[in-house]
Amino acid sequence: MRRKKMLFIGGAVLLAAVCAVLGGIKLYRVAEANRCGICLSFDDYNAENWEDYFPLFEKYGVKVTFFVTASEPTDFCYHAIEAGHDIGFHTVDHVDMSKLDEDEVYQQAIAPIETFREKGIELTSFAYPYGAYSEELNQRLLSYYKVVRGARQYQTVGKAQMRHGFVESYPLHSINHPSDEEFRESIDAILDELSRNKGAIANIYSHAIAGGDWNVTEERLEYILKRATEMGFKFYTYRELQEN
Ligand SMILES: [Zn+2]
């Protein structure tokens, strides 16, 4: 009798423990689904410059996506993936896709998928050079890529849209933000909007981490990383959201 009672109590304790764990997992999933995030990406090919900033990303636990202009995977691509970042594609020769014929689109944006795959890198995201896209291009590219990204506007999107479709991305370049004060105000406005939209994602991007019209400076980049992580936002790679 006593043994049976012990077994019963043991079973009840075990059941309670299992429920607590399952409840915890469920709460965690709900919390993750509601967690706002940022997809930060860098375009073109600034391998050495980008790699210099891997320690800065590491400092904030931030993973990013590099949309590379290349004909095949380079050492940088493997280093980035090893560090937990993602590699997306940005055409072979940085061409304005809206001006190409069908075969040129194939050569610039579709054929390289196989070249990268043969060398161990699966390309699942694409960013249009100059942000030049069309509905026809989106339709064609989205049968090869999960996400295609523009480069001109700011928008927050839901996580479902980040799994498959076209998304815009907000430029962080100096040319769009002449003063530090204006830059910080724009970033604060984006982060404030994010915090009001459960589970929303903000897409932002630049080129090199440096001075110059079309880049973002180290100080400005760190401002984003610091503010966003303080506010509890997560930095997602494009691939990470496609797989969730
Ligand atoms: Zn570009």
Residues 115-172: tens digit of each pLDDT: 999 999 999 999 999 999 999 999 999 999 999 999 988 888 888 889 999 999 999 9
Region 36-243: CATH code? 3.20.20.370
Rounded CA gap, 107 and 105, in Å? 6
Rounded CA gap, 212 and 49, in Å? 13
- 158 CA to centre of ligand 1 in angstroms: 25
CA torsion 82-168-231-188 (nearest 10°) is 130
- 206 CA to centre of ligand 1 in angstroms: 9
- What are the domain boundaries of the chain? 36-243
- 217 CA to centre of ligand 1 in angstroms: 17
- Whether residue 18 is predicted with pLDDT greater than 90 in this model: the reply is no
* Alpha-helical runs (H) found in 35-74: 47-52, 54-59
Tell me the pTM: 0.89
| Full DSSP string of 173-195 | -GGG--SHHHHHHHHHHHHHHHH
Inter-CA distances, 5 with 8, 12, 13, 16, Å: 5, 11, 12, 16
- 238 CA to centre of ligand 1 in angstroms: 17
| DSSP single-letter state for residue 109 | I
- 42 CA to centre of ligand 1 in angstroms: 9
- 219 CA to centre of ligand 1 in angstroms: 22
